[in-house]
Amino acid sequence: MDRIIIEGGNTQLKGEVVIEGAKNAVLPLLAAAILPTEGQTLLKNVPILSDVFTMNNVVRGLNVAVDFDEERNQILVDATGDILDVAPYEYVSQMRASIVVLGPILARNGHAKVSMPGGCTIGSRPIDLHLKGLEAMGAKIQQTGGDITATADRLKGANIYMDFPSVGATQNLMMAATLADGTTIIENAAREPEIVDLANLLNKMGARVIGAGTETLTIIGVDKMHGTDHSVVQDRIEAGTFMVAAAMTNGNVLVKNAVWEHNRPLISKLREMGVQVTEEERGIRVISDVTKLRPVTVKTMPHPGFPTDMQAQFTALMAVVKGESTMIETVFENRFQHLEEMRRMGLTSEILRDTAMIHGGEQLQGAQVMSTDLRASAALILTGMVADGKTTVGKLNHLDRGYYQFHEKLTKLGATISRVNGE
């Protein structure tokens, strides 16, 4: 099992870091590439991540040609032939996001079979909203033996109100509705930048999606779609992770390509804490003096609220700020597992249901810790940079799902980090 070893205690990050394309954007974009029956789809600015390879395999398993040019960070998808309607269990079971192929397959073939997906263990994350929306559009759904089977000669436009603004459900239903007969209106839709990115791609393909980035999405069904070129939006979570890394290490870092508007909730909390955050022509600069930072209260919310995918990293920042900070997690249950590992490093914290109290400012000590999910792995590495002595972080399969060359980028900024291969 690979491990990352951090020599911490005096880390001060300085310099520039380049942000990749967004993992949470490219996965549904790959699913959308199933829809066109004419022409090829070229996705640019694609991050080289294990989740991307997994999604490529899911799409390939549908008899779709997928060519990943890693040197150019591009994926060429050709779905112009007949596609299969059964997504391969071998790959779907590895990744939660793979459920988003359900809508596109159903819309194109009239029948789809997808296994219940896998992924990080940070809550139940039920797919009820996906299925209810498809049923509202006329699909017949069956769940047997861990598989979901959906059937519809052609989906019908419908008015769908979502009980929660689920990103995955919004993406699935939006893609399904592109080829439906009539107009679909999705209310209480997710508003994340990745939703807007998907809508932009779909519209380039000939779809008619209106209102992306607002609470109400309108999709006017079309008869067919065509391939196009599209550049994946920058990864706001990777950007946020490096912004937090700079803040907790007395850093001065330019996060290149980061989009200010996409990171506004995080920027607001960093500034409230006392971190200097400014927008520059090439990205976002973060300058910090930890001794002057103040404790804050943060509540995760769907976009445009504070992103749950930044919760673990921000608790690492809270750990170095003197005083009691509070983190309230409203999106996923079971997402404070990383705090148990941070306690091994000397962090004092209490958890009461959806709320964690972080008693920050005490010097942390290096320890052997294990990643519990994708974002927790990043949080533990950041914590290791400020802890005295050596920290070893295991279970890097989580990290590789969402960060490209994470330890190399931190090393270039001044951290002392190495990755060790081994059993």
CA distance 314 to 276: 16
HSE toward the beta carbon, residue 337, CA cutoff 13 A: 17
292 among annotated binding-site residues: no
Q: Distance between terminal CA atoms of the chain?
A: 4
- Phi first, then psi, for residue 223 (nearest 5°) are -80, -30
Furthest C-alpha separation in the chain: 63
CA distance 224 to 50: 31
CA distance 334 to 346: 21
Q: In 10 A of CB 321, how many CB atoms?
A: 23
Mind giving me the DSSP string for 168-226? HHHHHHHHHHTTSBSEEEEES----HHHHHHHHHHHHTT-EEE-TTSSEEEEE--S--B
Do residues 150 and 103 make contact, with C-beta atoms less than 8 angstroms apart?
Answer: no
Q: Please tell me whether residue 230 adopts helix, strand or coil conformation.
A: strand
309 among annotated binding-site residues: yes
With both helix axes pointing from N to C terminus, report the angle between 311-318 and 374-386 in degrees, rounded to the nearest 10: 20
96 among annotated binding-site residues: yes
71: which DSSP letter? T
Q: Which of 120, 219, 237, 367 is catalytic?
A: 120
CA distance 144 to 147: 5
208 among annotated binding-site residues: no
CA distance 348 to 346: 6
Q: In 10 A of CB 103, how many CB atoms?
A: 33
Q: Is 120 assigned a catalytic role?
A: yes
267 among annotated binding-site residues: no
125 among annotated binding-site residues: yes
126 among annotated binding-site residues: yes
CA distance 423 to 117: 27
- Phi first, then psi, for residue 231 (nearest 5°) are -100, 125
Question: Which among 39, 76, 38 has a CA at the least distance from the CA of 59?
Answer: 76
129 among annotated binding-site residues: yes
Alpha-carbon dihedral 148, 151, 152, 158, rounded to 10 degrees? -20
Catalytic residue IDs:
120
The annotation places the binding site for phosphoenolpyruvate at 23-24
The annotation places the binding site at 23-24, 96, 125-129, 309, 331
